């Protein structure tokens, strides 16, 4: 996952200390500080722009999602779907969020996972550590939720770009939304469209379409919830059934969710 955050140094300290995050790689750039941190088997690249004024309208937000994929096929796929590339690193590229319903898709011909990943300072932890040694009992990525104006239009993009499959439709009355789940590789993208005034509508009026939350699996909801409450984090209702979330205001503006995934 890719996220933009203010107060970069304090935010990194928070995610490393509070979540026992695995700091994998420092990625300083000419316009921002950045790093890779693994939490529960999910790697996030956190970007801290030097001039946050340019991002202050949206505040902290999930910028996009990164997939491992070969460059030749990836470039052909985004071109076929009229998606522009706005940052090209040759071995990886970022797509324009304007063409992805608020999501920057990053495609990378490489990996940061596993004991042999070549470009990291610290390797990813074994899944056994996250599940059986970490007190939250993480079981790896579930996926992410995305706020959209149209389930049909965004779903069509996921089908055409990734060959993803629609796997469910559901109501999310707590946030006044309709949900539609898509399988993309080994995770779920849950699209959320407002049905009227409510929490999701208010969020979209402030920040528009885009990734709303990252969802990480846990083996035992009660155990995980107790762990985070013991850390002093305010726990709120999650989006999906059998899930909970950490309030964004206690998480440098980002919504982290945790769902049952035995």
Q: pLDDT digit string (tens) for 14-51?
A: 999 999 999 999 999 999 999 999 999 999 999 999 99
Residues 87, 18, single domain; the answer is: yes
Residue matched to tokens 């996030």: 44
User: Is 33 inside a domain boundary?
Assistant: yes
Q: Which of 77, 66, 65, 64 is nearest to 157 (CA)?
A: 77
Number of domains in the chain: 2
H-only helix segments in 19-87: 71-80
Burial of 201 (0-12, 13-18, 19+ CB in 10 A): middle
Q: Which domain holds residue 88?
A: 2-108
Q: pLDDT digit string (tens) for 162-178?
A: 999 999 999 999 999 99
Residues 142, 242, single domain; the answer is: yes
Q: Which two tokens stand for residue 18?
A: 């509070």
Q: pLDDT digit string (tens) for 70-89?
A: 999 999 999 999 999 999 99
**The domain that contains 156 carries what CATH number?**
3.10.180.10
Q: Which of 113, 123, 140 is nearest to 40 (CA)?
A: 140
Judged against a pLDDT cut of 90, whether residue 52 lies above it is answered with no
Judged against a pLDDT cut of 90, whether residue 13 lies above it is answered with yes
pLDDT on residue 55: 84
Residues 102, 141, single domain; the answer is: no
């Amino acid at each position: 996952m890719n996220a933009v955050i203010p107060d970069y140094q304090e935010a990194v300290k928070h995610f490393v200390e509070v979540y026992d995050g695995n700091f994998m790689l420092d990625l300083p750039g000419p316009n921002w500080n950045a790093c890779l941190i693994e939490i529960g088997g999910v790697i996030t690249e956190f970007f801290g722009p030097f001039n946050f004024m340019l991002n202050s309208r949206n505040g902290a937000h999930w910028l996009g999602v990164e997939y491992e994929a070969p460059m030749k096929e990836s470039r052909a796929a985004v071109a076929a779907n009229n998606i522009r590339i706005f940052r090209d690193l040759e071995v990886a590229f970022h797509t324009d969020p304007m063409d992805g319903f608020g999501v920057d898709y990053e495609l990378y011909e490489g990996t940061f996972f596993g004991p042999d990943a070549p470009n990291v300072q610290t390797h990813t932890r074994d899944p056994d550590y996250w599940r059986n040694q970490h007190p939250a009992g993480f079981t790896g990525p579930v996926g992410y939720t995305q706020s959209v104006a149209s389930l049909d239009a965004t779903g069509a993009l996921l089908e055409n770009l990734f060959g993803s499959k629609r796997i469910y439709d559901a109501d999310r009355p707590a946030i006044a939304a309709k949900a539609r789940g898509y399988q993309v590789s080994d995770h779920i993208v849950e699209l959320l469209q407002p049905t009227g005034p409510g929490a999701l509508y208010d969020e979209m009026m402030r920040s528009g379409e885009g990734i709303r939350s990252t969802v990480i699996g846990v083996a035992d909801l009660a155990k995980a919830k107790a762990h985070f409450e013991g850390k002093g984090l305010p726990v709120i209702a999650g989006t999906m059934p059998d899930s909970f979330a950490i309030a964004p205001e206690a998480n440098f503006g980002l919504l982290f969710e945790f769902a049952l995934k035995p």
